[in-house]
Amino acid sequence: MRDIAEELRSLEPDLFVVVSYGKIVPASMLAIPKTGVALNVHPSLLPLYRGATPLQSVLRDGRSESGVTIIAMDEGMDTGDIVLQEKTPIGPDETCGELHDRLARTGARLLGDALDALASGTLERRPQAGLAPESEIAATLTHPLRKDDTVLDWHLSAGQLAARVRAFAPQPAARATVGGSALKVLQARACGEPSDPARAGEIAGIEGDAVLVYAGSGRLALERVIPPNRGAIDGAAFARSLQRVK
């Protein structure tokens, strides 16, 4: 960003707005706007879920609530004063893609409200310090997505696995190995007992359009998957294709 600093200064901007930029903006850049304000739209309830992947992380953790925060940026990573914040419940089957689109609309609305307040001189700022325990802030700090993050560990509970599938749907999609075949999993749901932790990762049967797989506890119903070199199919069709191969 330092490469465009002089160009930005020449524009004599009133303020900056930053959305979906995954790096820290240098203090020298934040000092450019005439108002001294750079606003950031962040899709989490700060100070929780700071960092690059708040949407994926909040779903992976099985949280029932998220939201959007508008902050006045400082030199830290999502540590600036809160200007506006709005909470929203997360739907029980809501995917990352769906939550992203919904919070994007909320963020656009809140940003408009923040700009109006700035223009009228009524913009209020609230420091993040003390809004959440430091231990929880540290535990929810997010990092850029790595390929290994998307791999399903069959020793987790079915509920945890279903949450991870939602966290990475539709892109890049959770990854798993079932019946010796590597899959992308687009849609899944947790099923209760019977369970057999000793057989975690093995196929437990077919139920409707889904294939059931044993997890650490419970079973995961894979409803929509992408097998190698194929398009998306339902889980039952995938399981039947394995039987035909055998």
Kindly report whether the peptide bond that precedes residue 194 is cis, defined as omega within 30 degrees of 0: yes
Look at residue 230 and give its three-state secondary structure.
Answer: coil
Residues 18 and 2: their CA atoms lie apart, in Å, by 15
**Mean pLDDT by groups of 10 residues along the chain of 246 residues:** 89 95 89 95 98 97 97 96 98 97 98 97 96 97 95 96 98 95 96 87 95 96 94 95 67
pLDDT, position 245: 45
Distance from first CA to last CA of the chain, Å, rounded?
55
Query: How much is the CA Rg of the chain, to the nearest whole Å?
Result: 22
The domains found in the chain, sorted by start residue, are 2-139 (3.40.50.170), 147-245 (3.10.25.10)
